[in-house]
Chains A and B, each alone.
Chain A
């Protein structure tokens, strides 16, 4: 069923437009974004359909779709969009709203993508920089897939492709403080 929000207003469309700075209503469904998108084949709904779902106010369905998690922000779609809509910004707005409103997509792939980003951010919080080897190890442990990419490890480590350590920031405190302020900003939106 399509719910258009209170007083028949499409509050979801308004929220996405406001957050993304784009105007989703300008989309005329030509589908160029779908044929351009390198990952549309993996999406529950390709970008064109997500745009239409936003227009129809299908909030739940848009949030729960894996589409915004699969978007790589490669900006190929927006570069070719005849209406010049910033589609990656729309995808990002949907994702951020879904995170804010605690909508959790339970599929294995989305869980893994999300876990990767969370681990990456925790590396920066801890070291101020990315610690590649630890990030990969933590990803394998936390997704219960210990042997993922292990066949690449001996060569990569021997060749020094992936170093064993990281040079942490001198002022790691600055980053911790930044995270705290940013979290507060996020809450006070």
Chain B
């Protein structure tokens, strides 16, 4: 039994409750026990760092200090935005003792920051600490036939100096997890484009434009669904999808899954436990592809290496 300190983030009790609950199902199967940070607070998300430097570090620092009181040395974070704020704060505090000392004055009652706890996104934890082999071994209902576009957004792999995980341009960790579940990951060029993030409320037209491009590219890649690991990406792509469709005059009908929902599905959890009714875009159409075997396409692409070899001969 592995243990992991858990930071759910505000949206886990709100817009992304299905992420939180399916994550818990998945980790139960994978034999990981979560320990919540007692009395955790909001990380400040996009707003704190926009307005003020000190608060932007102080809010995550309180959680880091509280997490150090627990035994585990790794903190897993569900929300991508929380993950980034926590990780940025950790990297800055570790690299700049003077700054750490100054910001620590805001949380003296909680304790002194020592830098003992490592911060990981749940995607990173699943990929690095659990691994594809173990994930594959737990699959009882393979998602064969389901084509997914894995969308990472900006925060999980960027900036690379902070996250030190996967590629900032064309990450593959989620693709590989989905393939381990039996699904097919499509070649999707907009993996790390921004969805408009926190402009969801204050600048909706920007979100509709950016998320619209992501939906269009996912559709073009041949995906039945988009898979995400960020609550803000999910709500922008799912909740705003009907408006985007109206705006562009196109029908997408692409459901947006959390990767944990697909994991739980492949691990054999009953569909009632996966919170699909919370989705705005219905999921049934995409899930109907599971089990369907596609005919092998007639034109088989030439492998790139063979072409190179030919040109060398010339």
Contacts and interface: CB of A to CB of B under 8 A. Distances in A.
At the interface, is chain A mostly helix, strand, loop or mixed? helix
A139 B201 contact: yes
B10 interface: yes
B204 A113 contact: no
A109 interface: yes
Interface residues of A, number: 58
Given A39-B206, A117-B47, A178-B106, A155 B280 contact: yes
At the interface, is chain B mostly helix, strand, loop or mixed? helix
Contacts of A152: 239, 243
Interface in B126-160: 154-155, 158-160
A74 B109 contact: no
A124 to B, nearest CB: 5
A74 B41 contact: no
A120 B47 contact: yes
Interface in B153-178: 154-155, 158-160, 168-169
Contact of A96 (B17, B44, B53, B193): B53
Given A72-B196, A124-B42, A130-B10, A186 B52 contact: yes
Contact of B192 (A76, A123, A159, A175): A76
Interface in B226-284: 235, 239, 243, 277-280
Contacts of B17: 160, 163
A128 B50 contact: no
B210 A129 contact: no
A160 B279 CA distance: 10
Interface string B67-106: 0000000000000000000000000000000000010011
Interface in A36-71: 38-39, 42, 70
Contacts of A179: 55
B194 A174 contact: no
A113 B59 contact: no
A14 interface: no
Contact of A181 (B15, B105, B202, B278): B105
Interface string B274-304: 0001111000000000000000000000000
B2 interface: no
Contacts of A144: none
A182 B58 contact: yes
Given A39-B206, A112-B203, A182-B58, A120 B45 contact: yes
A149 interface: yes
Contact of A129 (B41, B110, B158, B203): B41
A44 to B, nearest CB: 15
Interface of B: 10-11, 13-15, 17, 39, 41-42, 44-55, 58-59, 62, 102, 105-107, 109-110, 154-155, 158-160, 168-169, 192-194, 196-199, 201-204, 206, 210, 235, 239, 243, 277-280
Nearest 5 Cβ contacts at the A-B interface: A116-B202, A74-B154, A120-B47, A117-B47, A130-B10
18 contacts: A42-B206, A72-B196, A73-B46, A75-B154, A76-B158, A79-B168, A79-B169, A99-B51, A112-B202, A118-B51, A124-B42, A159-B280, A163-B17, A174-B109, A177-B109, A178-B55, A182-B106, A186-B54
Given A115-B202, A116-B201, 12 more contacts: A38-B194, A72-B196, A74-B197, A117-B202, A121-B47, A128-B41, A129-B41, A130-B45, A162-B15, A174-B62, A178-B58, A182-B52
